[in-house]
Chains A and B, each alone.
Chain A
Amino acid sequence: MTSISGSPMYNFTLALELHRRGHSVAVYSMFEDNELQSELVKRKIMTCYSVPSGRFDLALISQPDNASLVEEIEADKIINIVHSEYDCESPIISKKIDHYVAIRKSIKDHLISEHNIPEDNISIIYNGIDFNRFSKKKKKANDEDYIKVVIPCTLDLLRKNFIEYYTKKASDKFRVFLYGTDYGMDFYKNEFVSVNPAVFNIEEKIKDADLVAGILLGRVNLEARAMGIVSTIHNPERPEDFSYFFPVWEDFEKEHDIKNVVDKLLSL
C-alpha cells in the first residue's frame, strides 16, 4: 500500500468489499501515509505492519515480495493472486499455496507455460472495480475545444515509449494529462502535456476525459469502462500496437463488479 497503483488498489477494493459484507479483514502491507491507509483506518479495517497473528479462514496474497508471509501466516486456505506476466510479479511457488488467481487469461497461460503450475490450480478472476465509486453517473462531457487524454500511470522506463506515443502527439487540440508517481524518467513534453502526481481520487480526473490510455489491461481501463469512458490498451514496447477497450457492458459487469469478484474468490 505504498503507492496508488494497480496491485494496492486491487487489495484495497477487495478489503473494502469483504469488510462491507461483515467479514473481519486485516490488511498486511508496507503502508505509507496515504489515502489507502487513511481510508482503511477510517473504516476500522485492521492495518498491519507485521504478519498478523491468529488464524484466518482465508489469506489472499499478492506479489512475490510476500513469499515469506506464506510460510508465516496461519490460514485455512492461501490464495496467491498474480497481477501480470512480468518477473517482478511472479507467482509465489510454495506447497502452502492452495490456489492461484490470474487476473486475466494471458497470465494463466503464462503461469502454466513458464511456471509449470497445473491448469486446474489456476482460476481467472478479473480485477474488481467498485461500481459505486467508478460510476457512469459521474461521467461528464469535456466542453473544452480539445480532445482530453488522461493517462494514469507510473512514469517509469517500462512506460516511456507508451507515454511518448501520446506526448509527441500533444497539441492545442489534443492535450495529454498524466497522473502518476514520477521515478525521474525523462520523456518528451510540450506545453500541452500536463504532468501531475498520482492521485487517489482518479475518478475526478478521468470523468471528463475523451480518452483514457493505459498499457496491457490495467485498472485504468476498467475504471474508465465502469464510468462509460473509452480507453486504449497499448503494447508497452510497441505503443502503436493498441486496441480500444470498451467491452459490452453486461460482460464487463459480470467479470469486474467487485461484488462478483468477491463471490468468485470466496467460492474457490
Chain B
Amino acid sequence: MEKKPRIIEGICEYCGIEAIKCRHFSIVQQEKQVFGGDRSSKEYYTVTEKLADLIIPHHTNHSDLKNLLEMIDVSLFNIIVCSGQSFGKNCNKGSRVAETDKIIFLNDDIEISNEQLIKIVNALDDYDFVGSTQLAGIENPLKYWGIGLFKSSDGNIFHSICLEKEKTIFPSGFLFGIKKKVWQSSGGFDERFRTGNEDVDFGLKMLAIGAKMKMLDLEVKHKESQSVDRFKYCEENEKLIYSLWSQATLREIYNSYYENFSSLPDDDIDLRQSNV
C-alpha cells in the first residue's frame, strides 16, 4: 500500500518536526508503481528531479491542508509546511530550507492541480515573480486577480485586491512563485506584519527592484483566508504598510503604472474589506 504523507496538528507523524521539511515525501515517490502490479525492476528514472519547493504556511484547518497535500505529486515538489507563527514568519522559515531555485508559496486552503503548479514553475523560467487568479469563497466564488493601487476620494492611494486584470499590479500572497535568488535578495517578508499586508509590502518591493512579473489566469480555488489572527491586527498592519510606503511613493507608483490607462482605478472600498 502506498504510504501517504500526513500532517497531524502541524507535525509530521513520521519525523515529528513542527516546521516540516518532510523527507518522507520523497520516499513515497521512489516506491510508486508506474505500471501497476508488483514490478521488481526499478529503472533509473524513479528518482525525479524536483521542480520547486512548495512552502505552505499552515494555520488551523488540518483537513484543508490534508486535502491540499493529497493533490500534490510529491515526486515533483519538495513540500515544506511551516506552522505556529505568523504568515510571514512561517513563509520565511520555510524558504530558508528550500533546496531548488524556484519557490512557490501557497495557502493551505486552496485546491490546485499539479499541472497548474507546473505552469507556475515554467513561467518562472522567464519571470521573477509569478501569481495567479483565484476563485475565492465556497458559495458564489468571486474571481480575483492580484493587488492594485486605488485612489480614494480624498486623493490618498490605498491598496486592494482586484477584480480586474487591468488594475492588478502584482500578485497577492495566497499563491505565488518566485525565483529563490530574488526572494533571498529581497529579504523575504517583513516579519513586523502580523498576518496581513506582508504580500502588499513584498509586491511593492518587487516593483521597486524592477522584478519581472507575470499574472497567470489559472483560477485556483481558494476557500477563504483562514490564517489565525488574520483580522485581529488589521489596523496595526495598515499603519505599518503606510509608514513604510509614503503616500508620495505610492502616488508615484500609481501614476507610473496607470498612466497608460484612460480610466484610472477608482474607489473600491468593499473589496478592501473582503475576506481574501
Contact: A210 with B32, CB < 8 Å?
Answer: no
User: In the complex the two chains form, is B219's CB within 8 Å of A173's CB?
Assistant: yes
Q: Mark A133-159, 1 if CB is under 8 A from B, else 0.
A: 000000111100101010000000000
Closest to B114 in A: A244
- B44–A251 contact, CB under 8 A? yes
Since A245-B45, A246-B51, A247-B49 are in contact, a sample of 11 more A-B pairs with Cβ atoms closer than 8 Å, ordered by chain A residue number, is: A106-B39, A106-B41, A217-B45, A228-B125, A230-B76, A241-B34, A241-B36, A242-B34, A246-B48, A247-B47, A251-B44
In the bound complex, how far is the Cα of B44 from the Cα of A252, in angstroms?
Answer: 8
Q: Is the CB–CB distance between B43 and A104 below 8 Å?
A: yes
By the criterion CB–CB under 8 Å, are B118 and A247 in contact? no
Answer yes or no: A203 CB below 8 A from chain B CBs: no
Rounded to whole angstroms, the CA-CA distance of A142 and B49 in the bound complex is 21
B139 interface residue per 8 A CB criterion = no
A residues with CB within 8 A of B = 104-106, 108-109, 139-142, 145, 147, 149, 173-174, 210-211, 216-217, 228, 230, 233, 235, 238, 241-249, 251-252, 255
Compute how far the CA of A105 lies from the CA of B34 in the bound complex, rounded to whole angstroms: 13
Cα distance A244–B34 when bound, in Å?
A: 9
Inter-chain contacts of B47 with A (CB < 8 A):
247-248, 251
Q: Which residues of B contact A (CB under 8 A)?
A: 32-36, 39-45, 47-49, 51, 73, 75-76, 114-116, 118-119, 122-123, 125-127, 216-219
What residue of chain B has the Cβ atom nearest to residue A106's Cβ?
B41
Given A106-B39, A247-B45, A248-B48, decide whether A139 and B125 contact each other with a Cβ distance below 8 A.
yes
Set of chain B residues within 8 Å of A230, measured between Cβ atoms = 51, 76, 118
Residue pair A249, B115 in contact (C-beta under 8 Å): no
Given contacts A105-B41, A173-B219, whether A210 and B34 have CB atoms under 8 Å apart is no
Contacting B119 at CB < 8 Å: which of A210, A217, A244, A248? A210
Residues of A within 8 A of B118 (CB): 147, 210-211, 230
Q: List 20 A-B contacts (CB under 8 A).
A: A104-B43, A105-B41, A105-B43, A108-B41, A141-B123, A141-B126, A145-B218, A147-B115, A147-B119, A210-B119, A217-B45, A230-B51, A241-B34, A243-B32, A244-B48, A246-B49, A247-B48, A247-B49, A248-B49, A249-B49
A251 partner residues in chain B, CB cutoff 8 A: 44-45, 47
- Among B36, B39, B73, B122, the most chain A Cβ lie within 10 Å of the Cβ of B122
Report the Cα distance A248→B217, complex, angstroms: 30
Instruction: List, in ascending order, chain B residues with CB within 8 A of A141's CB.
Output: 122-123, 125-127
In the bound complex, residues from chain B placing their C-beta under 8 Å from that of A145 are 216-218
Q: How far is the CA of A216 from the CA of B123 in the complex (A)?
A: 28
